[in-house]
Amino acid sequence: MRNAPTILHLDMDAFYASVEQASKPSLRGKAVVVGGLGPRGVVATASYEARVFGVHSAMPMAQARRLAPNAAYLVPRFSLYRSVSEQVMALLRELSPLVEPLSLDEAFVDLEAREAAWDAESARRVGTRLRADIRAVTGLTGSVGLAASKMLAKIASEEAKPDGLVLVEPGTERALLGPMPVRTLPGVGPATGDHLRRAGITTVGELAEAGEDELVRLLGKAHGHALYAMALARDDRPVVAEREAKSVSVEDTYDVDIHDRLRVGVEVRRLADRCVGRLRGAGLSGRTIVLKVRRYDFSTLTRSETLRGPTDDPAVIREAAERLLDSVDTTGGVRLLGVGVTGLADYTQEDLFAQAAQPTVADEAAEAPKEAAADPVPERPEPAERQWRAGQDVWHAGWGHGWVQGSGLGRVTVRFETPLSRPGRVRTFGVEDPELEPADPLPLVPDAERLPRAQGDGPASAVPGTVDADP
């Protein structure tokens, strides 16, 4: 282990919910819950205001609504989250070439790789400046942990939440860990925690006192050795620079099972187009198209088809996904669909004419009985009402940019505001109003606002907009 706290762990605070609050002035300081809004939905992130009521990630959305009925419940907007994440990761890469992202809102950084820090004082300066830069560039807050190991840096950032910095001085690690619950250590889940509790071990200090032999007896050789080392604050894992993506995919889970075969086909084509958007956004192409289908009985099927060469052509990928769907029985209903691309490259095969008609690799089936014939396709689909989801960005020809507060009974309620405006007015429209259409999210901080603050001028207050607040 190192002799200086030069491993940094950044964890953005309630990331999805904080992005929503920054994007929607009327929700700042209020309880916000982001996740799936249907009966099967789960909480992805809850703001700190919502956590006061006991709402937390991975909780069923129905339970969250019972605990915090007055919170704002919003669908995720991953395109915006990815955009903000890219800004944050760019700041981390300015500190070091060794950045190990764990998710959109979390990463390790090796500060020694570019000599950004070499002792406790320089590491603290880097962490303090990073937090200020993140606030300046994104308007959000992140918590920073600094330590001589990845495990301790991650624990330190958790102790720093929200919006703080904790540095673990070398030599103090065991004193910090000792009184902490065993669940603090990575790899100790509910089952292992209960097993240790039944053996009278509830803290990390008690874990260390139990000794390696006892832990091996209780948990097995590999797990026992690993936990004993962690209890002694031993962790020599290096920070590993971000790896190249192995696949690009999108998927949707539906609140109500889809039984209409034509609707399933429409969804697959839509997912294929979204997948192409992600491919092109990353400057990639792919050779193998993958379809994922989770059916009404929770059985999951995957089908794949490998083309002659990598492509980012939406027509080719869409047609391949449709052919894969032809081999899947959707009788009984579908609850999840996904389209992905693997075999990635940073170029495209120019001569792809007719390759879609000649697949070279077949299907992979999982956890499902033998397939039956596909449902017949109806000649004409029934007209569907436009769907508006809470939190979705919209544009109205007369009112400008806004977001959906709710919809139902043929009406949709929209609040018109932007990240830099004051809380905006609320208006209600028919769901088929021709002047109302979906829109892309607005950036949290305009480019013109970023540079002066990122150079050290400190956080600026929001710039007043032109939208009046409700009386």
CA nearest neighbour of 144 among 259, 7, 267: 7
Q: Are 142 and 134 in contact (CB under 8 A)?
A: yes
Q: Please, which pLDDT band fits residue 470 given cuts at 50, 70 and 90?
A: very low
Q: Inform me whether the pLDDT recorded for 378 exceeds 60.
A: no
> Looking at residue 118, what is its pLDDT?
92
Give pLDDT tens digits for 165-189. Answer: 999 999 999 999 999 999 998 878 8
Residue of higher predicted confidence among 119 and 449: 119
Q: Inform me whether the pLDDT recorded for 360 exceeds 50.
A: no
Mean pLDDT of 110-122: 90
End-to-end CA distance of the chain: 60
With a pLDDT cut of 90, the percent of the chain lying above it is 62
Poorest-pLDDT segment among 47-51, 87-91, 356-360: 356-360
Q: Inform me whether the pLDDT recorded for 469 exceeds 50.
A: no
Question: Strand pairing of 99-103 and 142-147?
Answer: unpaired
Q: Please, which pLDDT band fits residue 445 given cuts at 50, 70 and 90?
A: confident
Pairwise CA distance, residues 451 & 460, whole Å: 11
Task: Give the pTM.
Answer: 0.71
> Looking at residue 204, what is its pLDDT?
93
Active site residue 106: yes
Pairwise CA distance, residues 126 & 386, whole Å: 49
158-161 contacts, C-beta under 8 A, 24 or more apart:
158/11, 161/11, 161/13
Mean pLDDT of 201-213: 92
Give pLDDT tens digits for 20-79. Answer: 999 999 999 999 999 988 877 889 999 999 999 999 988 999 999 999 999 999 999 988
Q: One of 106, 173, 319, 417 is an active-site residue; which one? A: 106
Q: Inform me whether the pLDDT recorded for 232 exceeds 70.
A: yes
> Looking at residue 467, what is its pLDDT?
31
Fold of the CATH domain 247-357: Dna Ligase; domain 1 (3.30.1490)
Give pLDDT tens digits for 298-339. Answer: 788 899 999 888 898 899 999 999 999 999 989 889 989 999
Q: Please, which pLDDT band fits residue 116 given cuts at 50, 70 and 90?
A: confident
Q: Inform me whether the pLDDT recorded for 3 exceeds 50.
A: yes
What Å distances lie between residue 108 and 148, 289, 363, CA to CA? Answer: 12, 32, 38
Q: Please, which pLDDT band fits residue 449 given cuts at 50, 70 and 90?
A: very low
> Looking at residue 297, what is its pLDDT?
80
> Looking at residue 58, what is its pLDDT?
86
Mean pLDDT of 287-297: 91
CA nearest neighbour of 390 among 85, 79, 71, 81: 71
Q: Please, which pLDDT band fits residue 222 given cuts at 50, 70 and 90?
A: confident
> Looking at residue 201, what is its pLDDT?
92
What Å distances lie between residue 66 and 63, 69, 71, CA to CA? Answer: 5, 6, 10
With a pLDDT cut of 70, the percent of the chain lying above it is 85
Q: Inform me whether the pLDDT recorded for 377 exceeds 90.
A: no
Q: Inform me whether the pLDDT recorded for 272 exceeds 80.
A: yes
CA nearest neighbour of 330 among 288, 364, 285, 377: 377
Q: Inform me whether the pLDDT recorded for 195 exceeds 80.
A: yes
> Looking at residue 79, what is its pLDDT?
87
Poorest-pLDDT segment among 98-112, 249-263, 404-418: 249-263
Pairwise CA distance, residues 42 & 44, whole Å: 6
Q: Are 168 and 147 in contact (CB under 8 A)?
A: yes
> Looking at residue 468, what is its pLDDT?
31
> Looking at residue 424, what is its pLDDT?
94
> Looking at residue 254, what is its pLDDT?
83
Q: Please, which pLDDT band fits residue 244 given cuts at 50, 70 and 90?
A: low
Q: Please, which pLDDT band fits residue 242 given cuts at 50, 70 and 90?
A: low
Average pLDDT, whole number, for the chain? Answer: 84
Pairwise CA distance, residues 319 & 269, whole Å: 8
Count Cβ atoms within 10 A of the Cβ of residue 173 and give its class: 0-12 exposed, 13-18 middle, 19 or more buried: buried
Q: Inform me whether the pLDDT recorded for 349 exceeds 50.
A: no
CA atoms within 13 A on the CB side of 470: 10
Q: Inform me whether the pLDDT recorded for 145 exceeds 50.
A: yes
